[in-house]
Structure formats: C-alpha cells, structure tokens
Amino acid sequence: MEFENACLHYPISKILINNIGSMQDFDNLIQSSNQIKNSMINNCVRKTFNIPKNTLFFEHECLEKNEVTTWNDLSIFYEGSKYTLSMLYQYLNSIEKKNFEHIHTISVRFSDDYSNYENNRRHFFSQLYADFIDKIFDKCYNATTLELINIKEIQFYIIKYLKSPRIQVITKLNFNELIEYCKENQEVSQDIITQLPSLREINFFIKNLARYEINSHSQVLQKIFQHLTSSKYGKINFYGVLEPKNSEKFREILMITENNNIEISLNGSFICNNQFFDLVSCQNSFPIYPVKNVVSLSVSLYDKSIFQSFLKSLPYFTNLTELKIELRDQLFENIINDNTLNIFSEYVDLAAIQKMSHIQSFFLEIQNSSDMYEIESNYEKSLDIKSQLAKDFCLSLGENLQTLYLNGIPKLTNDVSEFLSTNCSKLENIYLSILEPVSTNFLEKMETLKVINLKGFYKLNVPRNVKMFIIQPKNDSFSNEIGKLSNDSLHHFLNNFYGKYFKHSLRNICNTYMKYIVVFDNIFDWSNYIKHLDMFENAF
C-alpha cells in the first residue's frame, strides 16, 4: 500500500511515466490497482519512440542440401544476417518488447522453388515455418497482418499449419497457387484456413485464370469463404492482372463469392480496362456480371476512355461503400491535349453522382509528376484542372461519408469545407495531404470529426470533438526544428499551434527524422493510432 501511495504523487508519478519503456508497460501499471489507474489516467504521457518501421521482414532463400530433421536445419535471413529459426527467435527474445509494439505486419519472403521439394518434405518444412510465424505473432502483440511472398508453391502449405489467433489478414497470396495446392492435396485442401480463428481477410493476386477450371475447385473456395464470413468483417480482396480473356473465369469466382455472401474488394489497376467496366455496365448481358458483393473498389485512371467507362459502370456496384480513385498524370495530359473544358460534367451522369452520395469511405489520390508531361507548361496547367476535379468529386459526396482521404490535391477551397461540414454529418476520419495549405478554418465546422491525419505542419483550427490528431511531417527545415523540441515543449507547441488541448503526445523519431506525432486525450486509445496510421499509409 505504501508503494501505491508513493506512485500517486508528484514527482514519483511523473518519473514513473517518463521511464516507462513501452505503452504496454503503462497499460500493465494502471491495471495493477484501481488507485494507480485512477491516478495515472489523469497524468499526461509525453513519449518519444525510435521505431524505424511497422513491418518485420524475414526471408528464406533456399533449403540446405542436408535432410530436414530438426528445427535448426532451416535457415532464415533477417536484416542482412543468416540465422536458423531457433537462433533468430532467441535473438528476437533478447530485444526489448517496446521495439515490437508498433509492428503491424509480419512479412516473409520465400525465394526457393518449392515445387522441386518432395511433397512430404514440403509439408514438414511448412510446419516448422508456420510454428515460427505463430511465435513471432505472439511476440508482436499488435501485429494483425501476415504477408507471404514467394516464387513458387509454398504459401498454402504454410497457411495450412498456421494457428495464431492474432492473424486477421493474409496478403500477397497467389490465387493460382491455391488451385495448384488443391490439385496436390485434395484430401486436406478444404481445411486450409480452419485453424485461424481470427482470420477475416485474404488478399488474392489474380493472373492467367483462363488456364484453370475454377468450378472444379468450388468446394474449396466455398470453405474458405464460409470461414471468413464467420467473422463480422470477412472479406476477399482481389488484385493483379485481369486480361480480357480471363473475364469469364473471374465471373465464375465472383459467382461463388456471391453464392456464399462474402464481401469483395477489387483493388488496384488490374480491373482498369474498358472491357471489364463495359461488362459490368452492360444491361443486356446474361448472366449479369456479378458485382453486387463488391463493397470496396480501387481504380487507377489514366485516360479519358477509362475515366468514362469507370463512371458509367459505377452505379452497377450496388452495395459499394468504399471507393478509392487514383488519377494519373497521363489522364490530365490527355485532358489538356484534347482541350476538354470540364471532364467531370462531361462524363459524370446523375446515376454516378447518386452512387457517390452513398459512399462511406472515399479516397482520392492525384499524381503530381512534371516528368510525365511532354510540354513543361502543361504540368502547371494541370494543377487547376486537378483542383477542380477534386472539388467536383468532394461535392458529390453525401451524408453517409465517414472517412475522407485526399492526397496530392493541389488546392482545396473553403466551399469544399462548407459542403463537407453541411452535407457530411457522419464524417469522423480525415486525411489531408495538400500541395497548397488549406485555410486555418477548413476543419473548424466539421463537428463530427474524431481523427485527423495531416501530412505536414500547417495552421489549422482543430474542432473540439477531435479525439486523436496524427501529424506526419514533411522533410523540411520547420519540421526538423520541431523534431528537436523536448517532449514537453513539443506538447505545448502543438496545443498552441492547433488551438486545442490534448492530454497525451507520442512521437516517433528514427535516425533524427521525425516520422510522425500523435496527440490524443484518452490514454486507452493509444494503440488505435497504429490502426489509423496503417489505414492511410497503405491506402492504395
């Protein structure tokens, strides 16, 4: 009891907080007793971390020639050095846990040709690596995403043996490898992911679908989709290369997803061809191209034809809630050369505008590369066109909007702010990376905002209801000077600069470069900023 009483009072309480090595230690401290909890949550936490990345990366280059008999036979590379799996795990255990609490993704590259392995040996190899990956997830207690990168035929062998309840998302999976795994392992192929209780999302790379009989593996796909739908947020994300000859095979996959009621995300430029959008928007086709389960759509638009085809198809994505649009400089070069006055009013009809008004999450990213223009002055001309097009998209959003991401916009005017404040009453999360800083009152009337993510320091009046504010500085002299401030001085500067008091501040400085600052009010929200950082860092 004497220890507890001592912890409650200044300066001991302040010293305790200043010497806490990780935010998990802080959580453990305040959970130790109600007295300490009630005292500590009223203290201000101001910490600086040195976290170079939020991904742990490992690689397996090739299997040794000797027979696989024990754990120590398997090699692995980490940060340029070669280990065995057991040696590396011992080394990672010697590192302070504060170095792992910001890790969000575990990435493992497999660089051997595993199709040359005898099948039993491949399974044994996969068991050992899966066990290692499970242990790494136990160590990185905030990690939720596993990235598996390989050349040939090992991904699903490893997934078969994974068991970690922390794994929620698996990315970089090759859909063709799933089909090959099913051919080689028919007896167990329907149980690939059943040992992953928290898995809610799989990202599939699509290519060369025409060579496979998709429907002959429908039972395996159904099992995967059914397992994911047992989670409230179950989803499949498709990306890659969708050539015209593969459209019918992709239709078969989408039909299976629709029959199993699994939500779909179509991500990246692979669907950005006129044939795909024309198939979606063709009312005379039978059966209709099955996109009603597509809830998230990400497109990269690079010419007027693709721009028009995409907007024509947009209303047919009937359950779309998230829309990500990347506008490439080739599109604006095309607009300037054709002397198009207003591409938005020319190509966007009422049906597309109505669909935009129901979007919950809208991401707009504009490329700004002067090298992409044949005539140098065309780049300068493009800036006004980009700003106007961004404005047109923003003014098409509606009351369902909850998340807004605007990156690379040359200029945003106050009429955009007025529209968002008046018409988007559910807007909670916003990311701004604008070439020309917005006015100080741009966010002032957005009274429902909870999280702001800002690229660069510029003066803004932060609404009183904001719970968390994340700043990712640009690499300029002003940011460098701010990075030199003490924790307390930084805290006071931020509160004065943005006109709102936040109780807690965290800062990540890596090799003298300040990567980000987070200010927030509720200490129990500290781990949420990792989720918000990742949401916008990997937007496209």
Rg over CA atoms, the chain:
25
Domain that holds residue 9: 2-43
Q: Which residue has the higher pLDDT, 155 or 73?
A: 155
Whether the per-residue pLDDT at 160 is higher than 50: the answer is yes
**Residue 247: inside a domain:** no
Q: Is residue 538 part of a domain?
A: no
At residue 468, does pLDDT exceed 90?
yes
DSSP label at residue 244? G
| Total structural domains within the chain | 1
Q: How far apart are CA 133 and CA 272, in angstroms?
A: 35
Do 42 and 7 contact (CB within 8 A), yes or no? no
Specify the pTM: 0.91
Mean pLDDT for 373-388 is: 95
**125 within a domain of the structure (yes/no):** no
Answer yes or no: are the C-beta atoms of 18 and 44 closer than 8 Å: no
Query: Which one, of 283, 59, 267, 47, lies nearest residue 151 by Cα?
Result: 59
| Cα-to-chain-centroid distance, residue 130 | 24
Burial of 368 (0-12, 13-18, 19+ CB in 10 A): middle
Residue 454 within a domain: no
Q: What is the pLDDT of residues 302-352, one digit of tens each?
A: 999 999 999 999 999 999 999 999 999 999 999 999 988 788 988 888 999
Structure confidence at residue 343 (pLDDT): 86
Q: Residue 432 pLDDT > 80, yes or no?
A: yes
Which pLDDT score is estimated for 67?
A: 47
* Range with the largest mean pLDDT of 433-437, 483-487, 518-522: 433-437
Domain-located, residue 223: no
Is residue 185 pLDDT above 70, yes or no? Answer: yes
Percent of the chain with pLDDT over 90: 55
Q: Which two three-digit tokens encode residue 215? A: 């429907």
Residue 14 lies inside a defined structural domain of this protein: yes
**Predicted local distance difference test score (pLDDT) of residue 532:** 84
Q: Which two tokens stand for residue 61?
A: 């280059």
> Has residue 67 been placed in a domain?
no
**For residue 25, is it within any domain?**
yes
CA-based nearest residue to 505, from 80, 34, 45, 41: 45
Percent of the chain with pLDDT over 70: 92
